């Protein structure tokens, strides 16, 4: 029976699965326990938009490393196709792809994670999953095949999520470069009338429900 396609929920554990990659077999998510993981799918090897994305991920590998984060690519192409494509990128563009790429040729993981849009055939959409060190899905982003991702935004979202985990604060639009409060964090809203009254008129509050503070 064909596996049911479905959208994963934030906070769910990433499904356990053995996969084949350009760096050998991997067991998900166990092989990445203790690290953050960015799993991203691409529609197909030897395609222009996907090539630009792989180059961008590869060029920022050090920044992901500094955030204790591993990169893992995926498409429904076979592993040997991934190998030939990454060899082409190194030879023609001078960029070595330093992360493994899953050959999900049967679509098992792609279907389970909602990466395949039926109207687009069997190719994967451009999905991104950020998985925490415990193996939980914390961010899911889906793009159509025709639009390339911005890897710097994935890095920004990862940094923001890790800062939230450490500081237990909310973070504004485009943090740390927000138009209103720059790199400051948002304090949780007041939960009592007394606390709300204390916050009114404070320099770091627009109102009792919208206060902010500097991070350490």
- Residues serving a catalytic function are 50
CA 128 to CA 175: how far, in whole Å? 19
| Cis, bond preceding 176 (omega within 30 deg of 0) | yes
* Contact (Cβ atoms closer than 8 angstroms) between residue 103 and residue 79: yes
* Contact (Cβ atoms closer than 8 angstroms) between residue 160 and residue 171: yes
Beta-sheet pairing, 126-131 with 36-41: antiparallel
Residue with tokens 């935004």: 153
Query: Residue 209 is encoded by which pair of tokens?
Result: 């429900």
CA 92 to CA 87: how far, in whole Å? 8
């Amino acid at each position: 029976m064909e596996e049911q396609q479905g959208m994963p929920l934030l906070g769910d554990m990433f499904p356990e699965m053995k996969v084949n990659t350009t760096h050998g077999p991997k067991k998900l998510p166990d092989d990445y326990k203790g690290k953050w993981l960015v799993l991203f799918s691409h529609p197909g090897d030897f395609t222009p938009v996907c090539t630009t994305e792989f180059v961008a991920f590869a060029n920022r590998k050090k920044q992901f490393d500094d955030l204790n984060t591993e990169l893992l690519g995926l498409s429904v192409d076979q592993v040997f196709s991934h190998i030939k494509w990454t060899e082409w990128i190194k030879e023609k563009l001078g960029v070595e792809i330093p992360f493994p790429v899953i050959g999900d040729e049967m679509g098992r993981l792609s279907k389970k994670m909602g990466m395949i849009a039926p109207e687009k055939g069997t190719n994967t959409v451009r999905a991104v999953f950020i998985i925490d060190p415990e193996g939980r899905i914390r961010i899911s982003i889906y793009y159509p095949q025709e639009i390339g991702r911005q890897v710097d935004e994935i890095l920004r979202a990862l940094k923001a999520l890790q800062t939230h985990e450490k500081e237990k604060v909310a973070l504004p639009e485009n943090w740390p470069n927000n138009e209103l409060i720059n790199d400051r964090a948002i304090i949780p809203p007041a939960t009592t009338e007394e606390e709300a009254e204390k916050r009114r008129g404070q320099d770091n509050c627009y109102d009792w429900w919208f206060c902010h503070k500097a991070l350490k």
